[in-house]
Every structure is written in C-alpha cells, then in structure tokens.
Structure 1
Amino acid sequence: MPSQAYSSSQKALHWILFVLVVGLYGLTYGGDFFPRGDPNRGAVWWLHISFGLLLAALLIVRVALRFVRGAPELPASMSVIEKRVARAGHLALYGLLIIIPILGILLTWFRGDALTFFGLFTIPDPFQPDRPTAGFIRELHGLAANGILILAGLHALAALWHYFVRKDDVLQRMLPERSTTTI
C-alpha cells in the first residue's frame, strides 16, 4: 500500500534540488557581473559546474529513492485527466533534471574544459574542443534550463492550487513534518 506522504529523505532531496536549480540559474548570470578575462568570472563558472555535478549526483539518489519508495497516490478526487497531467508534469521535470546536467557536461567538454568538482577531483575532457558543437549544446542547455524554470513554476502553482482551492493534501505530502516537541 503506497504511503500518503513522501519520506523525509525524498522531501529533503526535493527541496535541495529546487534550491540547486534556482541557484544554478542565478550563477549563470553571475558571471556577467565580471568582464571577460576576470578570474572571478571563471570562479563563477567553476561553481556552476561543481554545483551542477552535485545536482546530477543528488538526482541519481532521488530517482533511486523514487523507484525504491515510490510516490503517494494522488487524491481520489482528481480526475483521470488531472492525474495524467500531473504524472506527465513530473516526468517532464525528471527528464529536464536529467538532460540539463548531461548537456552541461557535454558543453564543458566541447568547450575544451575539464570537469572539476569543487577542486576535489577533475575529469579531463575526452573530446577535442569544437566551438560550433559547444554553441549548439549551450543553446540546448539554456532552453532546457528555461524550460525547467517554467515547468517548476507551473508545478508550484499547481501545488498552491491544490492547497488553497482544492484543499487536499497534495502540497502537505512534500512539506517537512512539523515537530510537536518544544524546547
């Protein structure tokens, strides 16, 4: 029998991934505050790549947990079409969360750069630099990033609609549990 709420680890990963997506989007424009050639501009991209790799690693854990623990059933009050739209939306979010880091990795390599994870390890580029290919991948990466922000916004609006209009438990299933203990 499916649970009525996501596990604490699933909830934590949901919100951590949300913060990472928003933060990575912000870092994309953070480099624009510095002129080309400024080491700070490179540091912003280094952070973007490192946090992008962190997102990819946490996403693997999130997907594994989803397979192991599943997801709560949608409310019986939802129509078949609403349930299909909800499932399609989740699938699209997962798809974008998977494709964006893959495109980011390929972009980094086709630009001729190595992948580094906060300076802890480096994965050298396996490809020869290819500016036209890198440019094409950059466009796809940007489109997918814009797409995930739009889809995440619709996802949030749907959750708020469930909370304020439908008055069901869809939003509460992903919120942290309230502590009943006092200090």
Structure 2
Amino acid sequence: MAAITTYTSSQKFLHWALFALVVLLYGLTFGEEFYPRGDPAVDAIWRLHISFGLLLAAFVLWRVVLRGVKGAPELPAEMSPLEQTAAKVGHFALYALLVALPVLGILLTWFRGDSLSFFGLFTVPAPFAADRAAARTIRELHELCANGILIVAGIHALAALYHHFIRRDTILTRMLPGSR
C-alpha cells in the first residue's frame, strides 16, 4: 500500500477555509471598536460573528471527521524525532483550539441568554437561563483560546515556511491547492 503524500482536496479546502474564518472572526471581534456602545452596527457585527462561528464549528467537525477517515500524509523521514513530536503536538493543539473556540462561543451566547442564529436562516434558543458570571468566565476562556490559536497557527505557518524555504521539503506543498 502506497504512503499518502498529500492531503485530499477536501482537506485542503477545509484547511484554508478554517484559516480564513479564524482571521475573519478575529477581525469581526475588533470591528465593534469602531462604533459607539449601543450602536446597531455592534449587534450586526456580533450576529455575523456568531453565524461565522457556527460555520467554523461545522467546518471543524467536517475536518475532524475527514482527518479520522482519510488520515494525514506521513511526516518526512528526514524530520528528527523531536520535529515529528513537535509537529504532532502542534497539530493536536490546533485541533483542540478549533474545537474549543466554537463550543465556548456557543456556550457564551447561551449563558448570555441569547439565541444562536445562523445568518437568520434558523435560530436555536438558549437551553438554560442566562448566567452573567458563567458568561464572563466563558468569555475569558473563549478569548484565551482565540489568542492561543493565533499563536499556535502563527508557529504552524512559520514551521511550514521553514520547511519550504530552508529545508526544501514537501511539507508546505502537500497542503497547497493543486499540488499532488
């Protein structure tokens, strides 16, 4: 049986879509700062943040299932055991943060007493009463994970660029669209 040398086109799509969604969601978070408190635009920004966060959750679920079914290409044999361990730990951290962010976001919305709405197409009411203290704690965890994913994804990107430009191996190219 031949070793897998690249990710599937679905895995590549999800990788880059999740990257774009994380950047968009982070940007939306800071978009409210351009408006005064109570401005209707702030509510619109948060409705978009929630909707795109739910899309992120669906894509993360799809990505995790695909990873379980299709697996991932083997790491190059030239990588030291330390590098291979770092790669595995980094990927685990990315997946953990990608799962935690939308889960915490959903819980935050519900503990604030709000319903989840996906671009106005459907609404899921909070299954329990609002709890401001719990919402504050969840918000802090959500923000911590959001900052954490930026750090871990940044290290991930730097490692991919290192492999491409310094090591000159196929680590980066196997995740690029169109590569085989």
Question: What are the within-5 Å matches in structure 2 for residues 24-173 of structure 1?
Answer: 24-173=25-174
Gaps of 5+ in 2: none
Q: Is the 8 A contact 2:173 2:179 kept in 1?
A: no
User: What's the C-alpha RMSD, in Å, of the aligned pairs?
Assistant: 1.1
> Alignment partner of 1:83: what SS?
helix
Summarize the Cα distance change of 1:152–1:46 in structure 2 as closer, same or farther, 3 Å threshold: same
Q: Is the 8 A contact 2:164 2:170 kept in 1?
A: yes
Counterpart amino acid of residue 72 in structure 2: A
Counterpart amino acid of residue 175 in structure 1: L
Compute the TM-score of the two structures, normalised by the length of structure 2: 0.97
Which whole-Å CA distance do the structure 1 matches of 2:136 and 2:35 have between them? 21
Show CA shifts across 1:136-175 (max 9, x none). Answer: 1100000000000000000000000000111100000000
Q: Is the 8 A contact 2:115 2:126 kept in 1?
A: yes
Gaps of 5+ in 1: none
After superposing on structure 2, the runs of 4+ consecutive aligned residues of structure 1 that deviate more than 2 Å are none
Deviation at 1:129, TM superposition (A): 1.1
Q: Is the 8 A contact 1:2 1:70 kept in 2?
A: no
Which whole-Å CA distance do the structure 2 matches of 1:87 and 1:123 have between them? 36
Which whole-Å CA distance do the structure 1 matches of 2:137 and 2:18 have between them? 26
> Alignment partner of 2:117: what SS?
strand
Q: Is the 8 A contact 1:2 1:71 kept in 2?
A: no
Which whole-Å CA distance do the structure 1 matches of 2:62 and 2:18 have between them? 11
The count of corresponding residues between Structure 1 and Structure 2 is: 179
Which whole-Å CA distance do the structure 1 matches of 2:131 and 2:67 have between them? 37
Show CA shifts across 1:20-42 (max 9, x none). Answer: 00100000011111112111100
Task: Name the counterpart of 1:22.
Answer: 23
Which whole-Å CA distance do the structure 2 matches of 1:158 and 1:54 have between them? 27
Which whole-Å CA distance do the structure 2 matches of 1:98 and 1:160 have between them? 25
The 10-residue stretch of structure 1 (30-39 or 40-49) with the greater mean CA deviation from structure 2: 30-39
Identity %: 65
Which whole-Å CA distance do the structure 2 matches of 1:138 and 1:165 have between them? 40
Compute the TM-score of the two structures, normalised by the length of structure 1: 0.95
Which whole-Å CA distance do the structure 2 matches of 1:63 and 1:32 have between them? 34
Deviation at 1:2, TM superposition (A): 3.1
> Alignment partner of 1:9: what SS?
helix
